[in-house]
Amino acid sequence: MTDEKQDNIVFIGTKPFMNYVTSIAIQFTTKERSEVIIKARGKSINRAVDVAEVVRKRFLKDKNIDIKEVKIDSEELENKEGKKINVSIIEITLVKK
């Protein structure tokens, strides 16, 4: 993946909610991206869905942002105790129509 392609990916974590919304808005407006990918795993998945919906329905509702695709998966990680666990992953691709 090239740097330009990876530049349109927003990883959801523990930062304040609006940081993610603003970051995606900047991608679509200032950087004029036609597509932005939101990625999250585990407990951040619900936050990723909320961020995508706030961007689409409130923040950039005049920009015709739509969901192109949603991918779900899981990966095996090792927790603090050294035990292998499965963690769910979501990838939401937003596009400017």
pLDDT at 27 over 70: yes
Distances (CA, A) of 12 to 24, 35, 39, 64, 75: 11, 17, 6, 22, 17
State mean pLDDT over 25-33: 91
Give the pLDDT score at 1: 38
Coil, strand or helix at 79: coil
Mean pLDDT of 22-28: 94
pLDDT bracket for residue 81 (50, 70, 90) = very high
81, two tokens: 């105790």
Comparing CA positions, the residue from 32, 17, 19, 18 lying closest to residue 63 is 32
Quote the pLDDT of residue 5: 57
Mark out the alpha helices in the chain (DSSP H runs): 3-6, 17-28, 45-54
Residue 59 has pLDDT above 80, yes or no: yes
Position 61 scores a pLDDT of 86
Q: Is the pLDDT of residue 15 over 90?
A: yes
Strand ranges, E, within 42-79: 65-78
Pairing mode, strands 84-96 and 35-41: antiparallel
> Taking all residues of the chain, what is their mean pLDDT, rounded to a whole number?
91
